[in-house]
């Protein structure tokens, strides 16, 4: 059997006997027990970025990186729900756009205050 020359993308399978294994879904015969997958490098099932398997990710059916985790937020109404994190380029660009919008609103507010005087 030829060794795979790629980074594996894991999925977890739990059998009735209690055995849990991770197998590669990239047309590869690689399999590893869940306990032995700790520290292995894998591809994220959501964004496709390489990450190292840890205690949290070996419990997931489709392991994903820490950037794709969901965070708990509170709505205006006080309801709590989970949403995906905004990271990387998208998060940075949104932060820049929000800063520009805030600056525009501050300038508009100063103009209105000057008109009142």
15 and 57 within one domain: yes
Instruction: Indicate if the pLDDT at residue 95 is higher than 80.
Output: no
Residues 55 and 82 in one domain: no
60 with 10: CB under 8 angstroms?
Answer: no
Domain with 41, as residue range(s), is: 10-65
Note whether residue 74 is domain-resident.
yes
CA distances from 19 to 15, 32, 35, 91, 109 (A): 5, 11, 10, 40, 64
With a CB cutoff of 8 Å and minimum separation 6, the contacts of 15 are 21
pLDDT of residue 22: 94
10-58, pLDDT tens digit by residue?
999 999 999 999 999 998 899 999 999 999 999 998 888 899 999 989 9
Residues whose CB is less than 8 angstroms from the CB of residue 104 and which lie 6 or more positions away in sequence, other chains included: none
- Same structural domain for residues 61 and 93? no
Indicate whether 36 belongs to any domain.
yes
Check whether residue 43 and residue 86 sit in a common domain: no
Tokens of 5: 């020359």
Statement: residue 89 has pLDDT above 50: no
Does the residue 75 lie in any domain? yes
Name the domain boundary from 65, 85, 101: 65
Asked if residue 5 belongs to a domain, the reply is: no
Note the Cα 108 to chain centre separation in Å. Answer: 37
Q: What pTM value is reported for the model?
A: 0.59
Q: How many domains does the chain have?
A: 2
- Mean predicted confidence (pLDDT) in 49-72: 87
């Amino acid at each position: 059997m030829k060794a795979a020359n790629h980074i594996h993308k894991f999925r977890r399978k739990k059998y009735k006997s209690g055995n849990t294994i991770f197998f590669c879904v990239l047309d590869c015969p690689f399999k590893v027990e869940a306990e032995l997958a700790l520290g292995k490098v894998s591809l994220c099932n959501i964004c496709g970025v390489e990450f190292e398997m840890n205690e949290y990710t070996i419990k997931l059916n489709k392991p994903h990186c820490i950037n794709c985790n969901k965070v708990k937020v509170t709505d205006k109404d006080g309801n709590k729900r989970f949403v995906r994190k905004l990271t990387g380029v998208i998060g940075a660009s949104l932060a820049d756009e929000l800063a520009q919008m805030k600056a525009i609103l501050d300038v508009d507010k100063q103009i209105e205050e000057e008109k009142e005087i």
